[in-house]
Amino acid sequence: MNIVVTVKQVPDTWAEKKLDAADKTVDRQSVDNVMNEMDEYGVEEALKIKEAHGGEVTVVTMGPAKAVETIRKALSMGADKAVHLSDDALHGSDALATSAALAKVISTLSPDIVITSSEASDARGGVIGALLAERLGLPQLTQARKVTVDPASSTVQIERLADNGYALVEASLPVVVGVVEKINQPRYPSFKGIMAAKKKPLTTLSAADAGLDAAAVGLAGAASTVVTSEPAPPRSSGTIVKDEGDGGTKVAEFLAVQKLI
Amino acid sequence: MAEVLVLVEHADGEPKKVTAELLTLARSFGEPAAVFLGAPGTYAKAKDYLAQFGAAKVYVAESDDIAGYVGAPAAEIVAGLVGTASPAAVLVAATADSREVAARIAAKIDSGLIWDATALTPELVATQGIFGGSTIVTSKVTKGVPVVVVRPNATAPEAAPGTPTEQIVDVVISDAAKGAKIVDRVVEAKSGRPDLTEAQVVVSGGRGLGAAEHFALVEKLADTLGAAVGASRAATDAGWYPHQNQVGQTGKTVSPQLYIAVGISGAIQHRAGMQTSKTIVAVNKDPEAPIFEFADYGLVGDLFNVVPQLTSEIEQRKAG
Ligand SMILES: Cc1cc2nc3c(=O)[nH]c(=O)nc-3n(C[C@H](O)[C@H](O)[C@H](O)COP(=O)(O)OP(=O)(O)OC[C@H]3O[C@@H](n4cnc5c(N)ncnc54)[C@H](O)[C@@H]3O)c2cc1C
Ligand SMILES: Cc1cc2nc3c(=O)[nH]c(=O)nc-3n(C[C@H](O)[C@H](O)[C@H](O)COP(=O)(O)OP(=O)(O)OC[C@H]3O[C@@H](n4cnc5c(N)ncnc54)[C@H](O)[C@@H]3O)c2cc1C
């Protein structure tokens, strides 16, 4: 099984996230950056499939030079090799350009299964999995809380999360899978894994190496643009009351005054 | 006036409230043209509702191929309609399924995509609350026909009764779009409560509840308020409540009139999913809990005393 898993480096979820004042893209300089937490579930699922059915796991990321830290993490969890698409020309890419660039790189790897996660925590588009399926012309098995691969019939079945339950969705390989949190319990990199990661193959590609037209990606190629940006008006704290045995009644009074009941 | 395509959000034909919101929004800058995609026989249930909320036209596409495969058929049909109708924009609700369809439409028609808009001007400048609502940006599509994914509760729906013209769409789905086949749909929890993202009132429970069975307290309060039930990640991780009900960064984003947090500390990742709620009420026994930093009304106390009292007080007020 040839498995590709996408990972994105994002500002740490505990950090105060900001946009860069000049070009209104995410400020990735002044904060700690980590692997998008949901992508840990993607990597874990890739490793589990490999462990069950054999094969190889290739990590793909698009991002600035320091996104290599996120690649290292995936490799130390157990992925076999990585491709890092990195070029200043890619800075500011929208979701359409990002998916086109990732699809271009992924298609050269001829995967059986492409694994993404359902959402990156900085931009929260929740669209890259669907876009990769569209661009690669592969079945879209996104929102998966369970993935079952059957190599004998070359099919994959998932439980796709729905509001009141799930849909059972089936497709023939190759496929794009998108995982949600709670699908598994991502492993921690072991010391051995961290040491081994340093020796694993890593290919770094520029936009030109990947065969991308620089005018079609990055801020230059974006099909949408941020016009203005400002901090939301701060939410100040309101009335805080200590329960003296009549707390529930007090809350009800507040709701009544606010005409909420 | 150019058409504005509105993808109808529905469950087996029963329209969701966000559809009325999108039609209302579409009317502010164009001619609302609803696009109904569903299994054969489902449109009948949506027809009156779409007329009531001002659809000038309805494109009706009913086919087992639409309901039977994930995402791709819907995108194929809407992209086809964009080609023939040359609309001013395509509006889609910010639900997990539809945002994926929206993205595929944008890719097919080579246009820009904006997600999670909370407002849209007639000049098609969208407002997005990013980073969990802590930064507000305005943004604009600069290429093609804008595909805008709009948050539920962004617009107040206004009725505008009329008689839409109906155009039956001849549904031909390519084999390529029939890759991900839905073989079964399994209902695990049928609550009868409003959808979490659409609800006007949400009551959420956290680790403070201590056990799955104590969610009954939250459900009872929710039911007296006609509210949806949410949960923190601590509660869903513990298996006390379904993952689908999780509110926060890796759960749902809600923006109701009233959000009541019960036994929830208010971590930044939880806040990311609820801080744009109009009014926030918190019940927590720890006066230092971060949720009190941004709640409109905070009650420091034991939820096991406060919540039942609140529920019966509301019941009494309703009865009286
Ligand atoms: C606050 C904010 C708002 C934005 N709004 C829009 C918008 O409205 N429209 C628009 O077109 N663009 C928008 N962008 C740009 C867009 O976020 C980026 O293009 C991004 O790379 C793709 O979207 P996402 O991160 O939301 O991905 P998601 O769809 O949420 O990510 C899902 C998965 O895709 C994979 N993935 C995503 N990006 C990469 C990557 N660079 N390398 C490897 N794997 C990746 C990861 O596995 C990730 O978990 C926005 C950016 C920000 C910061
Ligand atoms: C990448 C990432 C993504 C995340 N995404 C989400 C998300 O989508 N949603 C989410 O919610 N969290 C998310 N989290 C987790 C988040 O950081 C918190 O851990 C979580 O929100 C805590 O849930 P809680 O408030 O229920 O529990 P706790 O933080 O343990 O708080 C429980 C509260 O209950 C109070 N309490 C206890 N007993 C009582 C009582 N008898 N009466 C009254 N009050 C009582 C306590 O004082 C405490 O404040 C995410 C974390 C990460 C790292």
Q: Based on the domain organization, do B49 and B161 belong to the same domain? A: yes
Q: How far apart are CA A133 and CA A67, in angstroms?
A: 24
Q: What is the mean pLDDT of residues B156-169?
A: 97
Nearest to A188 by CA among A58, A35, A84: A35
Are A125 and B115 inside 8 Å of each other by CB?
yes
Q: Phi and psi dihedrals of A250, rounded to 5?
A: -60, -45
Q: Phi and psi dihedrals of B11, rounded to 5?
A: -115, 110
Q: Name the domain boundary from B177, B209, B244.
A: B177
pLDDT at residue B238 in the model: 97
Q: Based on the domain organization, do B169 and B297 belong to the same domain? A: no
Q: How far is the CA of A10 from the centre of ligand 1 (A)?
A: 10
- CB contacts, 8 Å: A256 with chain B: 317
pLDDT at residue B1 in the model: 83
Site of tokens 């993404």: A116
Would you say residue B192 lies in a domain? no
**Number of domains chain B is built from:** 2
Cα-Cα-Cα-Cα torsion A97, B82, B103, B43, nearest 10 degrees, comes to -170
DSSP output for chain A? -EEEEE--EEE-TTS---B-TTT-SB--SSS-EEE-HHHHHHHHHHHHHHHHH--EEEEEEES-GGGHHHHHHHHHHT--EEEEE--GGGTT--HHHHHHHHHHHHHTT--SEEEEES--TTT----HHHHHHHHHT--EEEEEEEEEEETTTTEEEEEEEETTEEEEEEEESSEEEEE-TTSS-PPPPPHHHHHHHTTS-EEEE-TTTTT--GGGSHHHH-SEEEEEEEEPPP----EEEE-SS-HHHHHHHHHHHTT--
DSSP lists the bridge partners of residue B135 as A231, B130
A24 touches B: beta carbon within 8 Å: yes
Q: Based on the domain organization, do B312 and B279 belong to the same domain? A: yes
The answer, yes or no, to whether residue A234 has pLDDT greater than 90, is no
The answer, yes or no, to whether residue A42 has pLDDT greater than 90, is yes
Q: Based on the domain organization, do B159 and B241 belong to the same domain? A: no
Q: Based on the domain organization, do B17 and B74 belong to the same domain? A: yes
Q: Based on the domain organization, do B266 and B147 belong to the same domain? A: no
B174 touches A: beta carbon within 8 Å: no
Q: What range does the domain containing B283 cover?
A: 201-319
Q: What is the mean pLDDT of residues A36-46?
A: 97
CATH number at residue B294: 3.40.50.1220
Would you say residue B169 lies in a domain? yes
B205 and B196 Cβ atoms separated by less than 8 Å: no
Q: Name the domain boundary from B119, B142, B177.
A: B177
- Mean of the per-residue pLDDT values of chain B: 96
Q: How far apart are CA A11 and CA A17, in angstroms?
A: 7
Q: Phi and psi dihedrals of B55, rounded to 5?
A: -65, 125
Q: Based on the domain organization, do B69 and B154 belong to the same domain? A: yes
A166 touches B: beta carbon within 8 Å: yes
- Mean of the per-residue pLDDT values of chain A: 95
Q: How far apart are CA B127 and CA B130, in angstroms?
A: 9
The dihedral built from the CA positions of residue B37, B75, A25 and A66, taken in this order, carries a sign that is positive
Closest-CA distance of chain B to residue A87, Å: 22
Q: Structure tokens of A78?
A: 């157990």
CATH number at residue B50: 3.40.50.620
% chain B with pLDDT above 90 = 96
pLDDT in tens, A26-37: 988 888 899 999
Q: What is the mean pLDDT of residues B247-265?
A: 96
Q: Based on the domain organization, do B17 and B116 belong to the same domain? A: yes
pLDDT at residue B112 in the model: 98
Which of A95, A180, A258 minimises the CB distance to B113? A95
Other C-beta atoms within 10 Å of B49: how many?
A: 20
A169 touches B: beta carbon within 8 Å: yes
Other C-beta atoms within 10 Å of B82: how many?
A: 23
DSSP lists the bridge partners of residue A202 as A82
pLDDT at residue A22 in the model: 85
The CA distances from residue B38 to A59, A172, B22, B198, in Å, are 37, 24, 18, 21
The least confident of A205-209, A233-237, B98-102 is: A233-237
Nearest to A11 by CA among A21, A24, A20, A27: A27
* C-alpha radius of gyration, chain B, whole number: 21
- Domains, chain A, with CATH or none: 2-221 (3.40.50.620)
The dihedral built from the CA positions of residue A218, A220, A221 and A227, taken in this order, carries a sign that is positive
The answer, yes or no, to whether residue A113 has pLDDT greater than 90, is yes
Residue owning the nearest CA to atom 26 of ligand 1: A125
Q: What is the ipTM of this complex?
A: 0.96
Residue owning the nearest CA to atom 38 of ligand 1: A8
Q: How far is the CA of B289 from the centre of ligand 2 (A)?
A: 10
pLDDT at residue A237 in the model: 78
pLDDT at residue A128 in the model: 98
Would you say residue B187 lies in a domain? no
What is the band of A233 on the pLDDT scale with cuts at 50, 70, 90? confident
What is the band of A43 on the pLDDT scale with cuts at 50, 70, 90? very high
Q: How far apart are CA A101 and CA A108, in angstroms?
A: 12
Q: Based on the domain organization, do B173 and B205 belong to the same domain? A: no
Q: Name the domain boundary from B177, B210, B227.
A: B177
A252 touches B: beta carbon within 8 Å: yes
pLDDT at residue B134 in the model: 87
Tell me whether strands A140-150 and A155-162 are parallel, antiparallel or unpaired: antiparallel
Q: How far apart are CA A4 and CA A240, in angstroms?
A: 51
Q: Based on the domain organization, do B145 and B205 belong to the same domain? A: no
Q: Structure tokens of B113?
A: 């995509």
Q: What is the mean pLDDT of residues B297-318?
A: 97
What is the band of B161 on the pLDDT scale with cuts at 50, 70, 90? very high
Q: Based on the domain organization, do B162 and B292 belong to the same domain? A: no
Would you say residue B212 lies in a domain? yes
pLDDT in tens, A44-68: 999 999 999 999 999 999 999 999 9
Q: What is the mean pLDDT of residues B182-194?
A: 91
Q: How many CB pairs under 8 A join A and B?
A: 275
pLDDT at residue A20 in the model: 87
pLDDT in tens, B63-73: 999 999 999 99
Residues of chain B numbered 278-307 and touching chain A (CB < 8 Å):
279-281, 283, 287, 292-302, 305-307
Would you say residue B36 lies in a domain? yes
Q: What is the mean pLDDT of residues B76-99?
A: 97
Q: Based on the domain organization, do B71 and B164 belong to the same domain? A: yes
- CB contacts, 8 Å: B196 with chain A: 163
DSSP output for B231-268? E-HHHHHTTSS-GGGBBSTTSB----SEEEEES----H
Q: Structure tokens of B112?
A: 């820009």
Q: How far apart are CA A46 and CA B319, in angstroms?
A: 56
pLDDT in tens, B111-142: 999 999 999 999 999 999 998 888 999 999 99
Would you say residue B194 lies in a domain? no
